[in-house]
């Protein structure tokens, strides 16, 4: 008898009452650990991922609350360091070796590793948030099954899920049959300027990079992300008195306006390219022809070649302003390369996680999204990547940010179980090879 289908929210109640969970568990786990031995009836584990995470849920919440209640806005390095220290202590107690990487601006990133043999998994999370110290949204609270607080979804909740996946693998003995890396950075919300190279370098050699950004409100995980480019456009004009010498001036604001219209016109939905001029400033006084103006531009794209063409066109437009005494300069570029859709390596991971979800009694969907994450970075170096593995949540980057409390355990169990089956399959293949 198969368990009832659910949406993935609160699946434990369904699983715990399913006959196969109560009566057939030893048979199931025995065959999982030894897929080529039909006579095996005994589980190699003392507990399942689902049962374990369900029992650990109160501890997961306490850990999350301790992180959320310590402000870690991207500019608050001391607060981020305190969050990192909590996570470091959790993992060092499990035998992880910690390497601390200090960036030029004084912030830190952690790389924690355990194991030397077997499949290699990298679990990635960030501990900075968009909520700086002066923001009104500063503390954790829960109302029923809904958690509120800065980072409950994006992404301190995801970090807690990753930590408990690691804890489960170690305490079940599976951690001795794989290589685990947890990378926790402190600048993701500002596009990872000091950790991008570290993330890409550490990802190499891993069989999977798992990103614990939150799942979507409907439980969907992420299988691709648009690339992100950011630019500052600076225009220098010629100042003059607006009444006495108007003809002698060259307005930086007017010339910037020309560029803004030209940049926005590069948007091409058929090629999945969009440009947005989000911030504009310029001028000093109402009666002075403005000598300076600037704009900040956000570009999103699904094809890195299309982005390169658009960037080249932007620079050509800036160099072709009609007045020789007006200068324009463009600073910036791609901060997150596109993580393309339909990559075979990603589709293989999606299939594996869907199979795990099916076994746990619910359907799992994976979709691309327009927002960037550190998953863009690991995918860009050819490492199979899957994202959105944190708790179900929504209203990110607002004072209404929320996450679903039971999904802390649900989603930790999902990834733990997916990795568990992966390790068991390789163990079985190795045993078959030795025969």
Same domain, 258 and 198: no
Burial of 244 (0-12, 13-18, 19+ CB in 10 A): exposed
Whether 232 and 153 map to the same domain: the answer is no
Confidence of residue 430 (pLDDT cuts 50, 70, 90): low
Segment (H or E) for 386? strand 385-386
CA angle 403, 404, 409 (to 5 degrees): 115
Give 210 or 10, the one with higher predicted confidence: 210
CA angle 169, 12, 163 (to 5 degrees): 30
What would the pLDDT profile of 267-285 be if each residue is shown by its tens digit? Answer: 999 999 999 999 999 999 9
> Is 5 part of any domain?
no
In a domain, 343, yes or no: yes
Residues 306 and 350 in one domain: no
Last residue of a domain, one of 291, 314, 336: 336
Indicate whether 258 and 208 sit together in one domain: no
| Residues 170, 46 share a domain | yes
Q: What is the pLDDT of residue 10?
A: 44
Residue-wise pLDDT for 23-72, tens only, equals 333 333 333 334 444 433 323 233 489 999 999 999 999 999 999 999 99
Backbone angles phi, psi at 338, to 5 degrees: -65, 140
**What's the pLDDT at 322?**
87
Per the structure, the complete domain to which residue 235 belongs is given by: 227-336
Does a structural domain hold residue 311? yes
- Domain stops at, among 287, 317, 336: 336
Check residue 361 and give its pLDDT.
Answer: 85
Instruction: Using the CB atoms, write b or e for 81-94: b if 16+ within 10 Å.
Output: bbbbeebbebbeeb
CATH of the domain at 401: 3.40.630.10
Backbone angles phi, psi at 30, to 5 degrees: -60, -45
Q: Does 3 fall in a domain?
A: no
Ramachandran class of 363: left when φ > 0, alpha when ψ lies in -120 to 50, beta otherwise: beta
214 and 245 in one domain?
Answer: no
DSSP conformational letter for 3: P
191 lies in some domain: yes
The dihedral of CA 346, 349, 353, 355: what is its sign? positive
- Retrieve residue 88's tokens: 């470091």
Give yes or no: residues 286 and 343 share one domain: no
User: Any idea what the CATH number is for the domain that residue 307 is in?
Assistant: 3.30.70.360
Mean pLDDT of the chain: 89
Q: What is the mean pLDDT of residues 189-200?
A: 97
369 SS3 class:
strand
Pair (238, 161) in one structural domain: no
pLDDT confidence of residue 214:
98
Residue 18: band (very low, low, confident or very high) from pLDDT cuts 50, 70, 90: very low
Task: Report yes or no on 2 lying in a domain.
Answer: no
Is 217 inside a domain boundary? yes
Averaged pLDDT, 295-313 = 98
pLDDT in tens, 88-122: 999 999 999 999 999 999 999 999 999 999 999 99
362 plus 419 within the same structural domain:
yes
Same domain, 99 and 241: no
22 pLDDT higher than 50: no
Nearest Cα to Cα of residue 307 among 350, 348, 263, 338 = 338
Q: Report the number of distinct structural domains present in the chain.
A: 2
Decide if 112 is inside a domain: yes
Full-model pTM: 0.85
- Are 77 and 140 part of one and the same domain? yes
Query: Last residue of a domain, which of 336, 355, 385?
Result: 336
Residues 205 and 236 in one domain: no
The whole-number pLDDT of residue 426 equals 86
């Amino acid at each position: 008898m198969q368990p009832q289908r659910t949406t993935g929210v609160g699946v434990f109640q369904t699983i715990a009452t399913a006959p196969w969970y109560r009566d057939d568990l030893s048979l199931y786990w025995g065959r999982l650990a030894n897929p080529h031995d039909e006579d095996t009836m005994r589980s190699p584990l003392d507990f399942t991922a689902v049962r374990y995470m369900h029992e650990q849920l109160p501890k997961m919440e306490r850990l999350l609350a301790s992180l959320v209640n310590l402000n870690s806005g991207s500019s608050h390095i001391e607060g981020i360091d305190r969050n990192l220290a909590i996570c470091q202590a959790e993992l060092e107690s499990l035998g992880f070796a910690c390497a601390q990487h200090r960036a030029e601006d004084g912030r830190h990133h952690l790389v924690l590793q355990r194991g030397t043999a077997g499949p290699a998994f990298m679990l990635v999370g960030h501990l900075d948030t968009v909520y700086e110290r002066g923001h009104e949204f500063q503390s954790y609270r829960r109302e029923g099954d809904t958690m509120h607080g800065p980072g409950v979804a994006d992404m301190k909740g995801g970090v807690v899920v990753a930590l408990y996946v690691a804890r489960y693998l170690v305490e079940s003995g599976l951690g001795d049959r794989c290589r685990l890396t947890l990378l926790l950075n402190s600048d993701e919300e500002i596009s990872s300027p000091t950790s991008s190279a570290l993330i890409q370098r550490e990802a190499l050699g891993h069989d999977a990079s798992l990103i614990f950004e939150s799942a979507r409100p409907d439980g969907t995980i992420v299988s691709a992300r648009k690339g992100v480019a950011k630019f500052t456009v600076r225009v220098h004009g010629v100042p003059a008195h607006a009444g006495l010498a108007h003809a002698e001036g060259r307005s930086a604001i007017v010339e910037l306006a020309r560029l803004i219209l030209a940049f926005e016109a590069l948007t091409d939905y058929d090629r999945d390219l969009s440009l947005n001029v989000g911030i504009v400033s310029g001028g000093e006084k109402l009666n002075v022809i403005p000598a300076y103006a600037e704009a900040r531009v956000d570009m999103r794209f699904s094809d890195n070649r299309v982005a390169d063409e658009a960037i080249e066109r932007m620079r050509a437009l800036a160099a072709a302003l009609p007045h020789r005494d007006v200068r324009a300069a463009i600073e910036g570029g791609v901060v997150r390369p596109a993580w393309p859709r339909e990559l075979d390596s990603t589709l293989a991971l999606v299939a594996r996680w869907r199979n795990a979800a099916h076994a746990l009694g619910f359907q799992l969907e994976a979709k691309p999204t327009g927002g960037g994450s550190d998953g863009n970075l690991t995918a860009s170096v050819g490492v199979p990547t899957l994202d959105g593995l944190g708790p179900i949540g929504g209203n990110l980057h607002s004072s209404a940010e929320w996450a679903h409390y039971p999904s802390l355990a649900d989603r930790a169990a999902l990834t733990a179980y997916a990795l568990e089956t992966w390790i068991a399959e390789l163990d079985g293949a190795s045993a078959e090879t030795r025969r």
